[in-house]
Amino acid sequence: KRKSEIARAYKRVVIGLPQGLGNLSAAQAAVDFAEFLQLELLAAFITDAELFALADFPAVRELRIFDQQWQPLDVPRISRELEDAATIARKRFDESIASRTVKAAFDVLSGVEAIPALLHAGDIVAIVEPSHPGESITRQFTALVDAAFETAAAILIVPRRVARTSGPIMALASSTDDASIRVALKIAAAAKERLIVVAPAGALLPPEITADAERLGVSVEQLAASRADAFAPTPLRMSSQSRERLRVIARQLLDGAPRLFSMLHGVPLLAVESEHTALAEAGQTRRSQSEDRE
């Protein structure tokens, strides 16, 4: 099977599985994404190793709901519960990809310190919106977000509830030279969907973009944004009418982690680096991996 053009820039989708597993269904959007782009998928379950460090402090207690009393931390029990949680996560993940064609792997990380070593420069890191607000402040979640912004070539931000699984791909661009347009075009080709480009009024798509779209068989529609800010209210209103399945934006336009989920409105968002940077870093990563194997 011929690889999609986007698979030449990226190799893996890495998804951090939630501890509570309450939003594992939302993670299916990341599985879908990896499958139709023909990318490898790595699911990482991150345990909380700091619980064991807390057990070294005699004054630390935990409130046991059933016993209705404070007790010292029970390290053996905590170990068993973490192992059980990882086992359940692995089982549910295996079930979710049983009928898929995606090449997938499952990894258990013993703590957040292992996250940076897990990620490669050519990875797309999928961050799933927590099902409970408390999960968003855990070290497992915040460390994954921080590592993604520091290491990954692209970040896929997935809402708790995905509005739709089909529809056009939308590029939210600050100019017609924006990296998001080329990436969105290649995704649209792989997904066999239309491409919608939201760009400043009066800006014309470069001839090479139009030629590539014709070569790939992708229909392109351009909408005018009232402001350069891709997350201004006008583009978002336009996109709600367009019923797109995925939005693509350049990383430099993403206003940091605090607004990651409030801007989604049920539509996953892919934040990408410059295409040339992503290609170079992905190639460098693959070369270094090949050298390591040798």
Query: From first to last of its 294 residues, what are the pLDDT tens digits of the chain?
Result: 566 678 788 989 999 876 655 566 677 888 999 998 999 999 998 887 666 566 565 656 554 545 566 666 666 777 787 788 888 888 888 888 888 989 999 999 877 888 888 888 789 999 988 877 777 778 888 888 888 888 878 999 999 889 888 999 999 998 888 989 999 999 999 999 999 999 888 888 999 999 999 999 999 999 887 654 444 433 444 445 679 999 999 888 776 555 678 878 899 999 998 654 444 344 444 434 444 444
How crowded is the C-beta side of 2, counted as CA atoms within 13 Å? 4
> What are the Cα distances from residue 247, in Å, to 75, 151, 235, 271?
44, 21, 11, 9
Contact 42, 13 (CB under 8 A): yes
Per-residue confidence (pLDDT) for residue 18, from 0 to 100: 63
Per-residue confidence (pLDDT) for residue 257, from 0 to 100: 55
| Local structure of 169: helix, strand or coil | strand
Residues 95/97/103/104 CA torsion (nearest 10 deg): -50
- Which residues touch 88 (CB under 8 Å, ≥6 apart)? 21
Q: Which of 189, 170, 145, 148 is nearest to 248 (CA)?
A: 170
Per-residue confidence (pLDDT) for residue 208, from 0 to 100: 94
Per-residue confidence (pLDDT) for residue 229, from 0 to 100: 46
Q: What is the model's pTM? A: 0.80
Contact 275, 182 (CB under 8 A): yes
Per-residue confidence (pLDDT) for residue 226, from 0 to 100: 61
Per-residue confidence (pLDDT) for residue 64, from 0 to 100: 57
Per-residue confidence (pLDDT) for residue 124, from 0 to 100: 94
Determine phi and psi for 263, rounding to 5 degrees.
-95, -5
